[in-house]
Chain A
């Protein structure tokens, strides 16, 4: 699922507010200067890109704390929801 990783890096990269930061799987999401609205926009972009529905509540701590964890979460959701579309 290399396309998931590429898509996540592209979508998160477009929203991050810190300069000179090279995104990698180990990059913590909270190091990117993202606001809560940025996170929501990322979720919406990911849903549209991969045609999935991501369970998300702004007041609940994200279950993915790094880019890598986000990629794995999206891969899992894509696999789970593949049959339902």
Chain B
């Protein structure tokens, strides 16, 4: 690809020879070839340009490094957006042919569109339907009555439970589990959790655990991405739904009946309990935990490691365990850090009061001395 084509795709200006043939993109702190485009949009990578073999570089506007040695330089305004475009232009091709591997087991009544790839040892269940252009790697299990849209990318080890519905262009990473049974149990009589919530004590013991089966489904709308080893459980009666273009990181647990809106970002190790409702464009930082039946308003941002135990309004910024407003969380951290000096101040004041009290007592016992 010619450099000027890359600059056009980035909608960014360039200086120098636009006809240079670029074979790939690379980080100048690592091994880089003469025909690679050096991506230098951080201080570390800019510093590495000095000893870089590449003939061309892409840098951020305002970069003050000496760039004369390059035959061409592209200047971008928003480095992360530029990186997104560049990694699309030079994406690694899917390592799977658009054909069905002879070891794949496909139910006779499954509907497989033309031009899809199915890898070795993948199993496609009865009445499942897979749309055109979808690539399914090796060792994937697709249950009965599953619907998968077109142009999806499903990596090895993914398990998709019966009745799951997946839109177009979804990406499911290694070992994601979509549509397992929800974790739902009930005690025949009032149980210890109900007692603890009501009176703060355990007044009764659980006499048994009755399973609540999940007979609903999971729906992943268009352009959803699910990370490696993440699990999205199917609903009890209705659907566990992930809205379009929502991106889910690795090792995320999404329980039965959860409904997540569009364009959300769910970072690694998040745990979302049953029946939680999450609006659109919500961002959950790594390791956030959300209690069951809570509602999170649209556009909220919950900081990493927070524990959400009650409803969150729209556009809230929360932090901490339990999660409170960012302002209050910072104030609490600030005040707690001052406790050491507060204790020292109180000790000093106590000492001074004792001195004053002793003096006052002596005055009371010896009024004549006090008068003098």
CA distance A33 to B337 in the complex (A): 23
A44 with B43: CB separation less than 8 A:
no
- Note all chain A residues with C-beta closer than 8 A to B334: 40, 43-44, 56
Most A CB atoms within 10 A — which of B327, B330, B333? B330
Measured CA separation A18–B45 after assembly (Å): 12
A-B contact count (CB 8 A): 35
> Please, which residues of chain A bring their CB within 8 A of the CB of B340?
48
In the bound complex, what is the Cα–Cα distance between A52 and B9 (angstroms)?
53
Q: Which B residues are in CB contact (< 8 Å) with A82?
A: none
Closest beta carbon of chain B to A32's beta carbon, Å: 11
Write out the residue numbers on chain B whose beta carbons fall within 8 Å of the beta carbon of A53: 338
Q: Are B43 and A40 in contact (CB under 8 A)?
A: no
Contact across chains for A18 and B43 when beta carbons are under 8 A apart: yes
Q: Is the CB of B337 within 8 A of A19?
A: no
Min CB–CB distance A50 → chain B (angstroms)? 11
How many chain A residues sit at the interface, stated as a range, is 10 to 19
Do B341 and A19 touch (CB < 8 A)? no
Q: Is the CB of B327 within 8 A of A19?
A: no
> Interface size (B, Cβ < 8 Å)?
13
Interface flags for A44-77 (1: CB within 8 Å of B; 0: not) read: 1001100101001111000000000000000000
Interface assignment of B204: CB less than 8 Å from any CB of chain A = no
**Complex CA–CA separation, A57 to B327 (angstroms):** 7
In the complex the two chains form, what is the Cα distance from A36 to B338 in whole Å?
A: 18
A59 close to B43 (CB less than 8 A): no
Nearest CB of chain A from residue B212's CB, rounded to whole Å: 41
Minimum distance in angstroms from A59 CB to a CB of chain B: 5
The answer to whether B333 touches A47 (Cβ under 8 A) is no
B327 nearest in chain A by CB position: A59
Name A51's closest neighbour in chain B (CB-CB): B341
Bound together, the chains give a CA A47 to CA B338 distance in angstroms of: 8
Residues of B within 8 A of A36 (CB): 326, 330
Tell me, in angstroms, the Cα distance from A67 to B26 when the chains sit together: 35
Does any Cβ of B come within 8 Å of A21's Cβ? yes
Given known A19-B43, A20-B43, A20-B47, contact A58–B338 (CB-CB < 8 A): no
When distances are taken between beta carbons in the complex, the residues of chain B under 8 Å from A47 are 337-338, 341
Q: Which B residues touch A58, using CB under 8 A?
A: 326-327, 330-331
Docked CA distance A10–B331 (Å): 24
Q: Smallest distance from the beta carbon of B40 to chain A beta carbons, Å?
A: 13
B44 interface contact, C-beta 8 A: yes
Rank and list the top 5 A-B pairs by shortest CB-CB distance, nearest first.
Answer: A58-B330, A44-B337, A59-B327, A19-B43, A19-B44
Give me the interface of B with A, judged by CB distance under 8 Å: 43-44, 47, 326-327, 330-331, 333-334, 337-338, 340-341
Task: List 14 A–B pairs whose Cβ atoms lie within 8 Å, in order of A's numbering.
Answer: A18-B43, A19-B47, A20-B43, A20-B47, A21-B43, A40-B330, A44-B334, A48-B340, A51-B341, A57-B330, A58-B326, A58-B327, A59-B326, A59-B327
Known: A18-B43, A44-B337, A48-B340. 10 other contacts (CB 8 A): A19-B43, A19-B47, A36-B326, A40-B333, A47-B338, A48-B337, A48-B341, A56-B334, A59-B326, A59-B327
